[in-house]
Each structure stands twice: as structure tokens, then as C-alpha cells.
Structure 1
Amino acid sequence: MDIKPLLLASGMIAATALAGCSTVGGSVYTASYASITDAGYKLPAIPVSKVPEQYRRQIVSYETKEKPGTVIVDTTSKFLYFVMPEGKAMRYGIGVGKEGFEWSGTARVAMKREWPVWTPPAPMIRRRPELAVYRGGMQPGLQNPLGARALYLYKGGRDTGYRLHGTPEWWSIGKAMSSGCIRLLNQDIMDLYDRVEVGAKVIVK
């Protein structure tokens, strides 16, 4: 009897048990929130046990008329869906705009940036004068509010000022506390970044 398949199967079971997984249609998708070094920056591991299970990255059944590759943001449920073929979607937990900073509509991903520079908009600086020091831009890093990746949303050829971006504040996922941007765990925005193409449709509702 060839024991290799059994060893491979047991190894897979052990790996998914450690990392946390979602089973969809007989396939297993494992979301990793381990520490990772990227472009010289060492992202810390996410204490995933403290992140509610529904906000962890997972494949889910999702019926929509939108084509695969579309991003749909459900601000009420605090979920972002990346539409996949055959009625599936990759779902991510998100943080959304706090009261008075909510928005909705349709936009396009005009640019993608790894380890982006963050420039606080003028209205934010007026609200928080201490941010004036970053008027010329805050350099990339582990404490940068845009995190490891950013997707820039445009509408009608104009910058909306809104982004889909990472955040070092993992505890803010599932909450309404941003200035309107949609934030994801750094490990999740890196996953989403690799899936989304420039020009992709983004629906925020």
C-alpha cells in the first residue's frame, strides 16, 4: 500500500487546523495571518484568535450579476467581496467610515501601490492640525495609515479621495472608525491587491 497519499492528506489536515480554513465545494482555502517580510518591512502576525471569525478571509457562496473581478463593499455588514466565477467570492472583513464619513457609489481602481505614501487631505489637517507635518506625505512603513498596499478609487476620471488599503490597526476591522476609506488587515489587502486588476469596478453600498 502506498502511504504517500495518506501522509500528504494528514499533512494538509494539520496545516489547515493550524492556520484556520474555510471549506467550499469540497476545496479548502487557508487564510494565513502569519508574520511576513515584504519589501524589507516585517509585518507582524495578526492575533487571529482576537479577530471575529466572520471577518477572516474566506471563500463564500455569493450570487451577483456582476462579473468576476468586481469588488463589492457592503459597509453595513463590514464585508468586502471579490467576485469569483461559479457563484463564489473571496470575502474579507473591513473597517469603514465613521458616522459622517460614510459614502456609497461606483468607482474604478485607477492605480495600485505597494507600500504607498500617505498624504492627509486638507480637510483632515484642518480637523487634526498635528497632521500638518505630513502635508508633503508620510513615507511608507509599518505605522503608515495606508498599510502595505492601496488601491486608488476614481470616478469619471477623477480621484474620489477614497482608497481600499491596509491598516496596522487590526482591531479596527468590523468597526466604523475611518475617515471614509475602506481598510483591511495588511495580510488581506496584500491578497486582494494580487487579485484586483487596474480598471476593476468597485461598488460601495
Structure 2
Amino acid sequence: MLTRRTFVSVGAVAALSACVRPDMEPVNRAATVAPPPELPALPDFYGPILDEPYPVPAVEEGVLSPEYWRQEVSNPWPDKRRGTIVVDPDAALLHFVENPETATRYGVSVGAAGFDWEGTARLQFCRSWPRWKVPQSMIERQPELEPYSVANGGMDPGPDNPMGARALYLFQNGVDTLYRVHGNASARELGKAVSSGCIRMLDQDVIHLHEKAVHGADVIVLPSLKPEHLSSLY
């Protein structure tokens, strides 16, 4: 890894060498950098979806690592009931338990709220193309969002709505946690910490998850062990 200290040291050595041997050819550093690996073509299920109330565009090619593709994997939590959802904010992964042997895994991006809450909640309900009702705590930080407050009815659904195509609402002891699993992620965000929101998925993936979701199932949000992620969000 080329640190700033290493870079400065290399620069100093290069400058000294230039004084000793002024006729040295400059090094073409760009030619020594290996190009990033070419990612494989995305599965067909990341293509456009045109039978929704609002069109869902295809996921951008060449930016989404296969580790964040939707896929069936061995179930890391074989003792959990079918329908249990387990969110790992640090790994940026969400698992839906299919049976003791298998789970469906999705890549996610994690906002500040996604690191702030942990525990076991109940999947109270889901919404297709939900309205975005901005909580008062967010309005206090961003007053320009006042038109989309709960009192004002929120933001209309659609492609510009941060909630995306679907949202899963989590309650604990009958109380809304204000924690959401929702769509509207971009492929470039997956696997990363983003500035706001809870757990954000590609619209193709959150539609798929919504079709499987079990009303009343446990949603387990693992604790974040990497608090340094939080400082990078602001």
C-alpha cells in the first residue's frame, strides 16, 4: 500500500537521483499500475424491470463486484426459522433464511442509521413504492426536508424517492424502530457506507426480498464492530 509517508520518501529519493544523474529518463508511473480487474457480466435478473408502476432501470455494468450479487449460499444461521432476516452492517450483507441449509444473500449499502441500531425486531409490514416520511430528527439537521415531513404527508413515491421500490418496516415491542430496509441503492454504493438511510438495496433485490418476506418474522441487525465507519459518513 502506498502511504503518504512512502510517497513523500519516494519523491525525495527521485529528486536526489535527478540531481546526480540529470539525463535519467522520467519514469512512466501510469504504465506500472495494473488496470482494475474486469468484472463479469451481471446476471439477467439485474436487467430493467418494466412492469412496475415506475420503471426500474438495469443495474450499471462493470461496477458491482460478484460478492454483492444476489445469490443462494450456505445458511450461516441454521437454527433460525424460515423468513428470518439477518443484517450485517459491517459486511454490507443481508441474509434471508430459506431453510436450515440455504439462505439468499444480498449486498447492501449502509447509512448512518444502519450503524446506529442493533438488535432483533419484527417485520411489521412492507410497502411497495412507499412514501418517504422524513423523521423530525433528520429535519432538524436538514431543514430543507420539511416539505416531506410526516405532518406534510411525505414525498410521493417514484424513482426520485430515496425509499425506492419497496420498504420493510421494523418494529420492536410494538414500537416503530424507524429502521428500514429499502431500495434505491446504486450499484456503486453497495458494500459501502453512505451518508444517510438505514439498509439500502438495489431495487431489483428489494423487490425480490419483498416477494419472499414473511410477516412477523425476526429481523436481526448485528452490532457494528467498526465504529470508524461512522466518522466517514459525514
TM-score, normalization by structure 1: 0.81
Task: Give a deviation string over 1:143-191, Cα, whole Å, max 9, x none.
Answer: 1000000010000001000111001533221111153511100000000
Structure 2 counterpart of 1:43: 56
Structure 2 counterpart of 1:169: 186
Q: For this pair of structures, how many residues does the alignment match?
A: 179
Q: Is the 8 A contact 1:101 1:179 kept in 2?
A: no
**1:101, CA displacement in angstroms?**
4.8
CA distance in 1: counterparts of 2:161 and 2:68, whole angstroms: 22
Structure 2 counterpart of 1:118: 132
Structure 1 residues 88 and 103: CA distance shift in structure 2, 3 A: same
Task: Please say which structure displays the higher CA radius of gyration.
Answer: 2
Residue 53 (structure 1) aligned with residue 70 (structure 2):
no
Structure 2 counterpart of 1:185: 202
Q: Is the 8 A contact 1:96 1:102 kept in 2?
A: no
- In structure 2, stretches of 5+ residues that fail to align are 1-39, 223-234
- In structure 1, stretches of 5+ residues that fail to align are 1-16, 21-30
What code does the residue aligned with 1:56 have? W
State the SS of the aligned residue for 2:62: helix
Q: Is the 8 A contact 1:102 1:180 kept in 2?
A: no
Choose which of 148, 157, 164 in structure 2 pairs with 1:147.
Answer: 164
Residue 74 (structure 1) aligned with residue 88 (structure 2):
yes
Q: CA RMSD in A?
A: 1.9
Structure 2 counterpart of 1:9: none
TM-score, normalization by structure 2: 0.71
Q: Is the 8 A contact 2:112 2:198 kept in 1?
A: no
What code does the residue aligned with 1:200 have? A
Regions of 4+ moved over 6 Å = none
CA distance in 2: counterparts of 1:185 and 1:97, whole angstroms: 14
Q: Is the 8 A contact 1:99 1:176 kept in 2?
A: no
Residue 104 (structure 1) aligned with residue 118 (structure 2):
yes
CA distance in 1: counterparts of 2:61 and 2:180, whole angstroms: 24
CA distance in 2: counterparts of 1:87 and 1:117, whole angstroms: 36
Residue 63 (structure 1) aligned with residue 43 (structure 2):
no
Deviates more, 1:108-117 or 1:38-47: 38-47
* Identical counterparts, % of pairs: 45
State the SS of the aligned residue for 2:140: helix
State the SS of the aligned residue for 2:216: coil
Q: Is the 8 A contact 1:149 1:193 kept in 2?
A: yes
CA distance in 2: counterparts of 1:86 and 1:43, whole angstroms: 33
**1:69, CA displacement in angstroms?**
1.1
